[in-house]
Amino acid sequence: MRDQTITLERAVLLALMSYGDPRDGLDVNHLWRRLTTADGAGPSWRSVASTVTRLERQGYLEIVDEAQVGEDCHPLYALTDAGRALARQSQQLRPQGLEEFRRGEHS
Protein backbone atom coordinates (compact mmCIF):
# COMPACT_ATOMS: atom_id res chain seq x y z
CA MET A 1 0.00 0.00 0.00
CA ARG A 2 1.35 3.41 -0.95
CA ASP A 3 1.83 6.12 1.64
CA GLN A 4 -1.00 8.64 1.20
CA THR A 5 0.16 11.16 3.81
CA ILE A 6 0.10 14.77 2.64
CA THR A 7 3.53 15.93 3.72
CA LEU A 8 4.96 19.40 3.27
CA GLU A 9 7.02 18.03 0.37
CA ARG A 10 3.93 16.76 -1.42
CA ALA A 11 2.02 19.95 -0.64
CA VAL A 12 4.79 22.04 -2.26
CA LEU A 13 4.66 19.85 -5.37
CA LEU A 14 0.85 20.08 -5.51
CA ALA A 15 0.96 23.86 -5.04
CA LEU A 16 3.36 24.22 -7.96
CA MET A 17 1.33 21.83 -10.11
CA SER A 18 -1.83 23.84 -9.48
CA TYR A 19 -0.11 27.09 -10.45
CA GLY A 20 -0.87 27.88 -14.10
CA ASP A 21 1.68 27.22 -16.81
CA PRO A 22 4.16 24.50 -15.78
CA ARG A 23 7.05 26.57 -17.17
CA ASP A 24 6.19 29.43 -14.82
CA GLY A 25 7.61 29.30 -11.37
CA LEU A 26 6.95 30.56 -7.88
CA ASP A 27 9.36 31.94 -5.34
CA VAL A 28 9.46 30.61 -1.79
CA ASN A 29 7.35 33.47 -0.44
CA HIS A 30 4.52 32.80 -2.91
CA LEU A 31 4.69 29.07 -2.24
CA TRP A 32 4.49 29.73 1.49
CA ARG A 33 1.41 31.89 0.95
CA ARG A 34 -0.25 29.12 -1.08
CA LEU A 35 0.36 26.68 1.79
CA THR A 36 -0.97 28.81 4.63
CA THR A 37 -4.48 29.89 5.49
CA ALA A 38 -5.71 33.47 5.63
CA ASP A 39 -5.27 33.46 9.41
CA GLY A 40 -1.64 32.33 9.08
CA ALA A 41 -2.02 28.66 9.99
CA GLY A 42 0.37 26.36 8.20
CA PRO A 43 4.07 25.73 7.88
CA SER A 44 6.67 28.34 8.71
CA TRP A 45 8.36 30.22 5.90
CA ARG A 46 11.68 28.62 6.89
CA SER A 47 10.16 25.12 6.66
CA VAL A 48 8.90 25.84 3.15
CA ALA A 49 12.29 27.27 2.12
CA SER A 50 14.14 24.20 3.48
CA THR A 51 11.70 21.87 1.74
CA VAL A 52 12.09 23.68 -1.58
CA THR A 53 15.89 23.42 -1.32
CA ARG A 54 15.65 19.71 -0.52
CA LEU A 55 13.23 19.06 -3.42
CA GLU A 56 15.57 20.91 -5.79
CA ARG A 57 18.54 18.80 -4.65
CA GLN A 58 16.45 15.64 -5.16
CA GLY A 59 15.63 16.69 -8.72
CA TYR A 60 11.91 17.43 -8.26
CA LEU A 61 12.23 21.22 -8.65
CA GLU A 62 14.37 23.48 -10.77
CA ILE A 63 15.06 27.20 -10.89
CA VAL A 64 13.45 28.56 -14.05
CA ASP A 65 13.92 32.29 -13.57
CA GLU A 66 14.44 35.01 -11.00
CA ALA A 67 12.07 37.68 -9.74
CA GLN A 68 13.36 41.10 -8.79
CA VAL A 69 12.03 42.07 -5.36
CA GLY A 70 13.38 45.45 -4.42
CA GLU A 71 17.13 45.07 -4.73
CA ASP A 72 17.02 41.30 -4.27
CA CYS A 73 16.62 38.51 -6.80
CA HIS A 74 14.44 35.60 -5.72
CA PRO A 75 14.67 32.30 -7.60
CA LEU A 76 11.45 31.03 -9.21
CA TYR A 77 10.98 27.29 -8.83
CA ALA A 78 9.04 24.96 -11.14
CA LEU A 79 8.48 21.23 -11.30
CA THR A 80 10.84 19.00 -13.23
CA ASP A 81 9.42 15.99 -15.09
CA ALA A 82 10.10 13.88 -11.99
CA GLY A 83 8.38 16.49 -9.81
CA ARG A 84 5.32 16.56 -12.08
CA ALA A 85 5.11 12.77 -11.96
CA LEU A 86 5.26 12.74 -8.15
CA ALA A 87 2.74 15.58 -7.91
CA ARG A 88 0.33 13.72 -10.24
CA GLN A 89 0.76 10.55 -8.17
CA SER A 90 0.02 12.49 -4.98
CA GLN A 91 -3.03 14.10 -6.57
CA GLN A 92 -4.36 10.72 -7.73
CA LEU A 93 -3.95 9.28 -4.24
CA ARG A 94 -5.47 12.33 -2.53
CA PRO A 95 -7.41 14.54 -5.00
CA GLN A 96 -8.04 17.15 -2.29
CA GLY A 97 -4.55 16.80 -0.80
CA LEU A 98 -3.53 20.43 -1.03
CA GLU A 99 -6.74 21.64 0.61
CA GLU A 100 -6.42 18.93 3.27
CA PHE A 101 -2.90 20.16 3.99
CA ARG A 102 -4.07 23.76 4.29
CA ARG A 103 -6.78 22.68 6.74
CA GLY A 104 -4.15 20.91 8.87
CA GLU A 105 -5.06 17.35 7.87
CA HIS A 106 -1.47 16.17 7.45
CA SER A 107 1.37 14.80 9.48
Domain count, the chain: 1
* Residue 3 belongs to a domain: no
User: pLDDT class for 1, splitting at 50, 70, 90?
Assistant: very low
CATH at 53: 1.10.10.10
pLDDT of residue 28: 94
The residue segments making up the domain with residue 75 are 8-102
* Residue 41 belongs to a domain: yes
Residue 90: which H helix or E strand, with range? helix 81-93
Specify the pTM: 0.85
* Residue 66 belongs to a domain: yes
User: Which contacts (CB < 8 Å, 24+ apart) does range 94-98 have?
Assistant: 94/4, 94/6, 97/6, 97/10, 97/11, 97/14, 98/6, 98/11, 98/14, 98/15, 98/18
Which of the pair, 54 or 20, is modelled with greater confidence?
Answer: 54
Residue % of the chain over a pLDDT of 90: 51
* Residue 17 belongs to a domain: yes
pLDDT tens profile 48-74: 999 999 999 999 999 998 888 788 889
Task: Determine how many CB atoms are found less than 10 A away from the CB of residue 92.
Answer: 10
- pLDDT for residue 2 is more than 80: no
* Residue 1 belongs to a domain: no
